[in-house]
Amino acid sequence: MHDKAQEGETVRKKIWYIIVAAILLLLLLGYCPREFAVMAPAKDNYIVCRIEKSTDVNAIIVDEISGAWEESIWVENMEMYYTHYPYEFAHTGNTFYFYGDFTQAVNAEGYRVFHLEDWDVKYPVQHSSNFLIPFKHFICNFDML
């Protein structure tokens, strides 16, 4: 009888260890980097921007040092950014290096149009998640929630 009780306790401990290991694994996977932030642009043809929550413009050019507003613009080809990251992350106040060129066109509201070819998130990363994310040098899986 004593052996069955001891055996039951051993099974409960194993189940507990499996549950704790699964939770730790999920936490570790959530903190895995998806994209690293950069401190300097990787290409020559870039602008420093923040995503804007407006219907007239979808980005603003900011000063690289102070982060102060310089100009509102319309960025075409933003789908390449939005297909990678959810809306909530896009509007966290992060600063980005947008690579591409200004076109000769203006949008319907009269703002200059920038054709986006590639982008990098600028260090430090502002996270959108409710999880405590101490890392500022990369975008992690928790940012996708």
Convert the pLDDT of each residue in 83-125 to its tens digit.
677 777 777 888 999 999 999 988 888 999 999 999 999 999 9
Q: Classify strands 33-36 and 95-106 as parallel, antiparallel or unpaired.
A: unpaired
Structural domains counted in the chain:
2
Has residue 6 got a pLDDT over 70? yes
Q: How far is CA 72 from CA 49, 50, 94, 122, 144, in A?
A: 9, 10, 16, 19, 27
Same domain, 8 and 53: no
DSSP string, 2-17: HHHHHHHHHHHHHHHH
- Band (17; pLDDT cuts 50, 70, 90): very high
pLDDT for the residue 1: 52
Beta strands 59-62; 69-76: pairing state: antiparallel
CA gap 127, 141 in Å, rounded: 10
Q: Are residues 77 and 95 in the same domain?
A: yes
Note whether 25 and 45 are same-domain residues.
Answer: no
Q: Does one domain contain both 68 and 125?
A: yes
- 17 with 64, same domain: the answer is no
Boundaries of domain holding 4: 1-30
Q: Please choose, from the candidates 100, 43, 42, 95, the residue with its C-alpha nearest in 3D space to the C-alpha of residue 65.
A: 95
- First vs last C-alpha separation in the chain: 49
Give me the helices (H) in 46-102, please.
79-82, 87-90
pLDDT > 90: what percent of the chain?
Answer: 47
Q: Is the domain of 2 the same as that of 62?
A: no
The answer to whether residues 88 and 21 belong to one domain is: no
Same domain, 25 and 48: no
Same domain? 47 vs 23: no
